[in-house]
Structure 1
Amino acid sequence: MTPSPALAWLALLPCLALTAHTAVNATLLRRLPRPDQSEISGKRRDDSRVSVLLPLRDEAGRVGPCLEALLAQRGVPELAIHVLDDGSTDGTADVVTAIAGDRVQLIKGAELPEGWLGKPHACHQLAQVTKNADILAFVDADVVLEPHAIAEATALMRGIGVDLLSPYPKIVGAGSGLLQPLLQWSWLTFLPLRAMERSPRPSLAAAGGQWLMIDAESYRRAGGHAAVRTEILEDIALARQVKRSGGRIALADATGAATCRMYDSWPEMINGYTKSLWASFGSPVAAGCVVVLLLFLYVVPPVAALVLAVTGFGVPALVASAAYLLGVLGRVITAAATGGKAWAAIAHPVSIVLFTWLVARSFRLRRAGRLTWRGRAV
Structure 2
Amino acid sequence: MSGRALRALAGVSVLGAVHAALNMALLRRPPAEPPPVRRPVTVVLPVRNEERHVAACLASLLDQRGVADLRIVVVDDGSTDGTAKVVREVPDPRVRLVTADPPPPGWLGKPHACATGVAAAGPGDDGVLVFVDADVRLFPDALAAAVAVLDRQGLDLVSPWPRPLAEGLPERLVQPLAPWLWATTLPVRLAERSRRPSLSAANGQFLVLTARGYARAGGHAAVRGEVVEDVALLRAVKRSGGLGGPIDGSRLAACRMYEGWAELREGYAKSLWQAVGGSPAASVAAAAALTAVWVAPPAAALRGSRVGLLGYAAGVAGRAVVAARTGGRVWPDALAHPVSVLLLDVLMARSLRGRRRGTLTWRGRPLAAAPRAQWVTMDR
User: Which residue pairs with 2:75 in the alignment?
Assistant: 84
Correspondence for 2:301: 305
Q: Corresponding residue for 2:317?
A: 329
Determine if the alignment matches structure 1 residue 52 to structure 2 residue 28: no
The residue number in structure 2 matching 1:354 is: 343
Mapped to 2, the partners of 1:32 and 1:169 lie a distance apart of 12
State the distance in 2 between where 1:372 and 1:28 align.
37
Q: Which residue of 2 aligns with 1:235?
A: 230
**Alignment gaps of 5+ in structure 2:** 368-380
Q: 1:360 to 1:286 in 2, by over 3 A?
A: same
Which moved further from structure 2: 276-285 or 24-33? Answer: 276-285
User: In the alignment, what sits opposite 2:245?
Assistant: 250
**Contact kept? 1:146, 1:258, Cα under 8 Å:** yes
User: Which of 158, 166, 173 does residue 159 from structure 2 map onto?
Assistant: 166
Q: What SS is found at the alignment partner of 1:82?
A: strand
TM-score normalized by the length of structure 1: 0.93
Deviation at 1:65, TM superposition (A): 0.9
User: Which residue of the partner structure matches residue 314 of structure 1?
Assistant: none
Task: Name the aligned partner's letter for residue 362 of structure 1.
Answer: S
Give the equivalent residue in structure 2 for 1:128: 119
Which residues of structure 1 form unaligned runs of 5+?
Answer: 310-316
Q: State the distance in 2 between where 1:147 and 1:9 align.
A: 48
- Pairwise CA distance, 1:101: 4.9
Output the CA distance in 1 between the equivalents of 2:320 and 2:166. Answer: 19
2:174 corresponds to = 179
Q: Which moved more, 1:96-105 or 1:285-294?
A: 96-105
Amino acid across the alignment from 2:134: A
Percent identity reads 48
- Residues in 2 aligned to 1:224 and 1:208: alpha-carbon distance in whole angstroms: 16
- Match for 2:219: what amino acid? G
Query: 1:355: how far off?
Result: 0.6
Q: Give the match's secondary structure for 1:348.
A: helix
1:132-281 matches, within 5 Å, as 132-133=123-124, 134-174=127-167, 175-280=170-275, 281=277
The letter of the residue matching 2:271 is S
SS at match of 1:169: strand
Question: Cα offset for 1:237?
Answer: 0.4
Q: 1:285 aligns with which of 249, 256, 281?
A: 281
| Displacement after TM superposition at 1:103 (Å) | 3.4
The structural deviation recorded for 1:102 is 3.6
**1:116 partner SS:** coil
Q: Matches of 1:176 and 1:51 in 2, distance apart?
A: 32
Q: 1:312 aligns to what?
A: none
Aligned residues: 361
Q: TM-score normalized by structure 2? A: 0.92
Match in the other structure for 1:30: 28
The structure with the larger Rg is 1
Distance 1:6 1:202 in 2: 35
CA contact (8 A) 1:173 1:265 kept: no
Residue 364 (structure 2) aligned to one of 343, 352, 375: 375
Deviations 1:266-302 (A, max 9, x none): 1101100000011121222211221111111110111
The question of 1:342 aligning with 2:330 is answered yes
